[in-house]
Structure 1
Amino acid sequence: MENKKRKYMTRKRRGKILKRKIIFTLIVVGVLSGYIWSEGNKTIKSIETLANTNEINSEEIIIREVVSETIREVTAYNVGDVNQTDSSPCIGAYSKVNLCEEVAKGQNVCAANFVPLGTELQIIASNGWSFECIVWDRMNSRFGNRVDIAMNYWEKDRAIKFGKQNLTVRILGEKSIVRK
């Protein structure tokens, strides 16, 4: 009898292969549909135009790995409001960042307990609305699976209107830049 050895693929190896397949698929879909991601901005070019230009090497495709995707409760709160936060309303769990200043500058900030501080999340509604934010704050431990979107102090009506929704939340991984 022949000595037959079974070859088992480790979980780490399987993950690497899956990651490569996902990246390859995203690149193919992006190129075939005519969308090129350049420095985070979406620019539409036809495939014919790309084929006829010699400056393709200057194009970059930015790909974000999706670590996980789940449905979670998403709410909104107003930074700077002592009634909605603790006694230091502009200082979040990551004390190096002033939440009031970041939100006023237009940075999308959110609070979540289920990921490390500094993690980027993408929140997607069923109507196609999408929102990316960075986790710079924590919530009360009662709300371990919830995401709380930070809004400006004067946007209380907007936060109330947003309410509590069950939305798709993606945990975004590292950025991969593919140069053409």
Structure 2
Amino acid sequence: MGAFRPDKAQLAAAHGTTIPDVIGPGLRVLFCGINPGLYSGATGYHFARPGNRFWPALHAAGFTERRLDPSEQNQLLDLGLGITNIVARATARADELTDDELRTGADILAGKLERYRPRCLAVVGISAYRTAFGHPKAVVGPQPDPIAGTAVWVLPNPSGLNAHWTPATLAQAFASVREKFYSE
């Protein structure tokens, strides 16, 4: 992790803040989190909390040559990768978000897909995807319906709280997206 580690006051102050997307035209895969956690809100980096397995899974799946630190997130653009969120505001827990916020976030996300046209939207978090996009029976993996012409793949949430997905199975899930949309 980078040098900055927020203290309790800085984490509390991050509630409701937003962080910039890592996004641009021509992406192969746009990863989409549920929303930033307080650690991400305080640092300004996606998936920044120590213990979040996004960065290790990205590397283990073969997207990156080495494990990137969250502070290196902008390097993803050179690799044809990006990061956004369904809901922009930082919270301590994703369950602080309302269903309406998730649905509104889905509409905003569809606009980003129309603008940037990535090959694949990889949503990390099945429950949020189900609510945001109105697919209550969706399962992890490729989704039948594109959004704004973009293929959609749902991945498990890489939070350390999602322990039934081991680092190895999480990496396999991420690798399935790489094999389909990144290796070509």
TM over 0.5: no
TM-score scaled by structure 1? 0.23
Structure number having the greater helix percentage: 2
Structure number having the greater strand percentage: 1
Larger Rg: 1
